[in-house]
Amino acid sequence: MIEASVIASPILGVVFCLLHVIVSLVHTWSHLVHQIQCLIISSGLLSKYQNINLNRLRHLAVVIDSEDAKNKSKVHQLLCWLSDIGVKYVILYDIEGVMKKSDKAYEKSSANPSETKCMDFAPNMPLIFDMFGMTVEIISYTDGKEAVAKGANYLCSNYLKNQDDTLNKLGPKFTEPDISSALKAVGHDGPEPDLLLVYGPARCHLGFPAWRLRYTEIVHMGPLSSMKLSAVVKVLYDFSKKHQNYGK
């Protein structure tokens, strides 16, 4: 029995590696196809990518891996592209709050610093400023679950203030609009993004505020270091063609 497992383990290991080689080959092929599509888009041969209808894209979110987010010039470049395309509201998110600490860098690197109005950095609050005519909101992990807890405490204090014997017997009853109002009262009332781009090794939202993700389309873009304008254009074009049932 022991001898069988000694023989079987390396064989299983070899087959396991083979399976993963196949997965890697499929990924390489998909990446190649994607690169060719990006090349065609950036050549301008396809007119449909020249004027994208952004009416349905009111708010765009970008989740960036915190290690990638340390590359301020890349983040700034991405914001410039989004502004040029015509995006009006961008929510930048990284889990560790690296971009919150870097907001002054975006101000300094802007072509016209007077176009950028920054608020003071507060680690547990969203940061909102204007850049190239586009509103930029920067959030991090503390703007998610902890914000909901803050909202819960706000609702609790109101509930206790409005104590009524009849109501108390039934216990607190809140609706989703109540939660939204509470989040607004505690300063965490950012809009729900229509589209969320993930820059990093995996398609994962890394703690983006749950209350704002209900119907958000989530697209994985790969590492920030290899970001391409044509890839962003393609995603925005695909989004403009999307149809949602909202459960119907």
Interface contacts to another protein, rule CB under 8 A: 8, 12-13, 15-16, 19-20, 23, 95-96, 141, 144-146, 148-149, 151-153, 155-156, 159, 171-176, 178-179, 200-207, 210-211, 213-219, 244, 246-248
Query: How many CB atoms sit inside 10 A of residue 248's CB?
Result: 4
CB nearer another protein, residue 108 or residue 215 = 215
Q: Least distance to another protein from the beta carbon of 230, Å?
A: 19
Within its chain, how far is the Cα of 79 from the centroid? 13
Q: Please check whether residue 183 is in contact with residue 211, taking contact to mean a CB–CB distance below 8 angstroms.
A: yes
Minimum CB distance to another protein, residue 203 (Å): 5
Smallest distance, another protein to C-beta of residue 91, A: 15
Which residue lies nearer to another protein by CB, 129 or 174? 174
How far apart (Å, rounded) are the C-alpha atoms in residues 138 and 161? 34
Residue 55 or 246: the one with the smaller Cβ distance to another protein is 246
CB burial of 175-189 (b: ≥16 within 10 Å; e: otherwise) equals eeebbebbbeebebb
Shortest separation between residue 100's beta carbon and another protein, angstroms: 15
Among 209, 194, 63, residue whose Cα is nearest residue 143? 209
Please give the Cα distance from 88 to 69 (Å, whole number). Answer: 21
∠ CA 58-220-66, rounded to 5°: 90
Rounded least distance, CB 243 to another protein, Å: 10
Q: Which is nearer to another protein, 77 or 181 (CB)?
A: 181
Please name the residues in contact with 79: beta carbons below 8 A apart, sequence gap of 6 or more.
90, 92, 106, 131, 132, 134, 136
Q: Which is nearer to another protein, 12 or 46 (CB)?
A: 12
* C-beta closer to another protein: residue 86 or 207: 207
Shortest Cβ 63–another protein spacing (Å): 11
